[in-house]
Protein backbone atom coordinates (compact mmCIF):
# COMPACT_ATOMS: atom_id res chain seq x y z
CA UNK A 1 0.00 0.00 0.00
CA UNK A 2 1.04 3.62 -0.48
CA UNK A 3 2.90 5.06 2.44
CA UNK A 4 4.58 8.34 3.36
CA UNK A 5 7.01 8.28 6.26
CA UNK A 6 8.19 11.26 8.18
CA UNK A 7 10.09 10.94 11.41
CA UNK A 8 7.40 11.15 14.04
CA UNK A 9 10.01 11.91 16.66
CA UNK A 10 10.60 15.58 17.30
CA UNK A 11 13.85 17.00 15.99
CA UNK A 12 15.73 19.29 18.37
CA UNK A 13 18.48 21.43 16.95
CA UNK A 14 20.65 24.26 18.17
CA UNK A 15 20.06 27.72 16.76
CA UNK A 16 22.33 28.48 13.83
CA UNK A 17 22.71 24.85 12.77
CA UNK A 18 21.19 23.25 9.70
CA UNK A 19 18.03 21.26 10.30
CA UNK A 20 17.40 18.31 8.00
CA UNK A 21 14.01 16.63 7.81
CA UNK A 22 13.32 13.44 5.88
CA UNK A 23 10.33 12.27 3.89
CA UNK A 24 10.33 8.72 2.54
CA UNK A 25 7.62 7.15 0.45
CA UNK A 26 6.72 3.75 -0.93
CA UNK A 27 4.41 2.60 -3.70
CA UNK A 28 4.06 6.10 -5.11
CA UNK A 29 5.09 7.63 -8.39
CA UNK A 30 4.64 11.26 -7.44
CA UNK A 31 4.64 13.98 -10.02
CA UNK A 32 5.76 16.43 -7.36
CA UNK A 33 6.49 16.73 -3.69
CA UNK A 34 5.69 19.64 -1.40
CA UNK A 35 6.68 20.84 2.02
CA UNK A 36 4.31 22.74 4.29
CA UNK A 37 4.84 24.36 7.67
CA UNK A 38 2.20 24.05 10.38
CA UNK A 39 2.18 25.99 13.61
CA UNK A 40 0.06 24.89 16.60
CA UNK A 41 -3.58 25.80 16.09
CA UNK A 42 -2.98 26.98 12.54
CA UNK A 43 -3.46 25.59 9.06
CA UNK A 44 -0.52 24.34 6.99
CA UNK A 45 1.36 26.94 4.97
CA UNK A 46 2.92 26.04 1.63
CA UNK A 47 6.71 26.40 1.50
CA UNK A 48 8.21 24.67 -1.51
CA UNK A 49 7.31 22.38 -4.38
CA UNK A 50 9.74 20.19 -6.30
CA UNK A 51 8.81 18.22 -9.40
CA UNK A 52 9.87 14.68 -10.28
CA UNK A 53 12.36 15.88 -12.86
CA UNK A 54 14.05 18.29 -10.45
CA UNK A 55 16.82 17.32 -8.06
CA UNK A 56 16.96 20.39 -5.85
CA UNK A 57 15.01 23.54 -5.10
CA UNK A 58 15.97 26.51 -2.96
CA UNK A 59 14.12 29.38 -1.39
CA UNK A 60 16.01 31.70 0.93
CA UNK A 61 17.24 29.49 3.82
CA UNK A 62 15.25 26.49 2.63
CA UNK A 63 16.47 23.70 0.38
CA UNK A 64 14.61 20.64 -0.82
CA UNK A 65 16.05 17.64 -2.60
CA UNK A 66 14.07 14.94 -4.35
CA UNK A 67 15.52 11.53 -5.17
CA UNK A 68 12.98 9.41 -7.05
CA UNK A 69 15.35 6.43 -7.03
CA UNK A 70 15.67 6.43 -3.25
CA UNK A 71 12.05 7.59 -2.95
CA UNK A 72 13.12 10.27 -0.58
CA UNK A 73 13.04 14.01 -0.09
CA UNK A 74 15.23 15.96 2.28
CA UNK A 75 14.20 19.37 3.60
CA UNK A 76 16.96 21.60 4.93
CA UNK A 77 16.72 24.81 6.93
CA UNK A 78 20.09 26.53 7.13
CA UNK A 79 21.04 28.93 9.92
CA UNK A 80 18.00 27.77 11.86
CA UNK A 81 16.22 30.18 14.18
CA UNK A 82 13.79 29.64 17.08
CA UNK A 83 11.08 31.08 14.81
CA UNK A 84 11.57 28.05 12.56
CA UNK A 85 10.14 25.84 15.30
CA UNK A 86 7.02 24.21 13.88
CA UNK A 87 5.75 20.96 12.39
CA UNK A 88 6.77 20.37 8.79
CA UNK A 89 4.55 18.31 6.53
CA UNK A 90 5.63 16.48 3.41
CA UNK A 91 2.98 16.01 0.70
CA UNK A 92 3.07 13.99 -2.50
CA UNK A 93 1.12 14.97 -5.57
CA UNK A 94 -0.02 12.74 -8.41
CA UNK A 95 -0.93 14.18 -11.80
CA UNK A 96 -4.35 13.73 -13.23
CA UNK A 97 -7.70 15.43 -13.58
CA UNK A 98 -7.58 15.95 -9.87
CA UNK A 99 -4.07 16.37 -8.67
CA UNK A 100 -4.44 14.21 -5.61
CA UNK A 101 -2.22 15.29 -2.77
CA UNK A 102 -1.40 12.97 0.11
CA UNK A 103 0.11 14.36 3.29
CA UNK A 104 2.56 12.83 5.73
CA UNK A 105 2.01 13.14 9.48
CA UNK A 106 4.75 15.73 9.86
CA UNK A 107 7.92 16.16 11.87
CA UNK A 108 8.05 18.61 14.76
CA UNK A 109 11.16 20.79 14.72
CA UNK A 110 12.32 22.59 17.83
CA UNK A 111 15.14 25.11 17.43
CA UNK A 112 16.83 25.74 20.76
CA UNK A 113 18.27 29.21 21.38
Partner 1 sequence: DADVTQTPRNRITKTGKRIMLECSQTKGHDRMYWYRQDPGLGLRLIYYSFDVKDINKGEISDGYSVSRQAQAKFSLSLESAIPNQTALYFCATSDQNRPDTQYFGPGTRLTVL
Interface residue list for partner 1 (CB under 8 A): 4, 8, 32, 34, 41-46, 49, 89, 93, 98-101, 103-106
**Least distance in Å: CB of 3 to partner 1?**
11
Nearer to partner 1, 35 or 80 (CB): 35
Residue 94: CB minimum distance to partner 1, A: 10
Q: Which is nearer to partner 1, 9 or 113 (CB)?
A: 9
CB of 82 to partner 1, least distance (A): 22
Of the chain, the end-to-end C-alpha distance in Å amounts to 41
Q: Length of the chain in residues, anyone?
A: 113
Minimum CB distance to partner 1 smaller for 45 or for 70? 45
Closer residue to partner 1 (CB): 39 or 67: 39
Minimal distance, residue 10 CB to partner 1, in Å: 14
Task: Transcribe the chain into DSSP letters.
Answer: --EEEE--S-EEEETTSPEEEEEEEES---SEEEEEEE-TTS--EEEEEEETT-SEEEETTEEEEEETTTTEEEEEESS--GGG-EEEEEEEE--SSS--EEE---EEEEEE-
Amino acid sequence: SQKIEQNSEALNIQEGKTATLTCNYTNYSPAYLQWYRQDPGRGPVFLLLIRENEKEKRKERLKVTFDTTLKQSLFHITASQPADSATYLCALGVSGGYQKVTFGIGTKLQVIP
